[in-house]
Amino acid sequence: MHVPPFTVTTNSKINLGLRVLGRRPDGFHDIESIFVAINLGDTITVTASDDLTVECYPSVTQEPEQNIVHRAACLYAERFPNDRCGAKITVNKRIPTGAGLGGGSGDAAATLLAMAHLNGRPMSDQTRQLLEPLAAACGSDVPFFLHSGVALVTGRGELVTPIDVPLPWTILVVCPGIHVNTALAYSTLGITSAQPSPGLRGKLIHAIDNKSINATLFENDFERAVFPQYPVLADIKQRLSDAGAAFASMSGSGSSLYGLFDDATKAAEAAEALADLQTYICAPVTASFRLT
């Protein structure tokens, strides 16, 4: 079966609240967060080939084999040894790296789906279920990107419960170009054990219905660990609020921050107020990936 070259446009995500509940026996941490997929994405071009090669522009690892895209393709080949697993994969990065936006995780999920497409598997729920164990093996946030949309994410990030709700906000993402060490952020949290928040899905629906978010219900635990190290991030969060954001927060372990705005005009005005920083005006997305 001949499949012509194709391109997959990926998504990134923001965290609407992020609680770290405690350290697990496997060394990871249990988390609880609402992930929201947004249309800030990379593009991945796939061409059938005899061998597997990965090129990334700009490069994010010292060696191509260290890229999570290469790891995802290799995991697919191990799981489906009878499939066509040779491909030339070219990643053109737009999502800032080390920003808490899940760019690498989204690329890995897209690669798994792209390898499936290369072998005639449709981008269906059945295919996604087939790939979920591979996604979890790639990284904690990768399973979410097989689905995207809005979801309650728990466990170490591999347990994804989709929430079928439309978000009424335009999202302004601000990337200050600071690389936050995620392992260090976890180590400085000082969390031993915490309980999940009851009814988080219902609280989100209530917030959407009222177009108003109670900030105390959707706190990001990492802010208390990261903001003291990088006070400028707290300043940016305040600037987003001052610019009219209905809610502002850090995404993941940072360093990106975002504000939710009632409409695109307000988001554009806020972007102008933050013109000294890299900003992206984004919208929530419900589809996992766009394939062309």
Task: Identify whether 141 is a catalytic site residue.
Answer: yes
- Hey, which CATH number is domain 6-164, 3.30.230.10, 3.90.230.10, 3.40.50.970, 3.40.50.150? 3.30.230.10
Check residue 112 and report its DSSP letter: H
Tell me the per-residue pLDDT of 226-236, one tens digit each, with 9 for 90 and over.
999 999 999 99
Q: Tell me, what's the pLDDT at 180? A: 83
| Mean pLDDT, range 95-107, rounded to an integer | 94
The class of domain 170-282 in CATH terms is: alpha beta
On the question of a cis peptide bond just before residue 58, with omega within 30 degrees of 0, the verdict is yes
Kindly tell me the burial class for residue 99, based on how many C-beta atoms sit within 10 Å of its own C-beta (0-12, 13-18, 19 or more): buried
Residue of 92 and 4 predicted with greater confidence: 92
Q: Active site includes 51?
A: no
Domain parsing of the chain, residue ranges: 6-164, 170-282
Catalytic residue selected from 30, 42, 141, 221: 141
Summarize pLDDT for 59-96 with one digit per residue, the tens.
888 887 899 999 999 999 999 999 989 999 999 999 99
Residue of 13, 93, 237, 266 with catalytic role: 13
Decide: 230 and 184 in contact? Cβ < 8 Å.
no
28 — pLDDT class (breaks 50, 70, 90): confident
CATH topology match: 6-164 vs 170-282: no
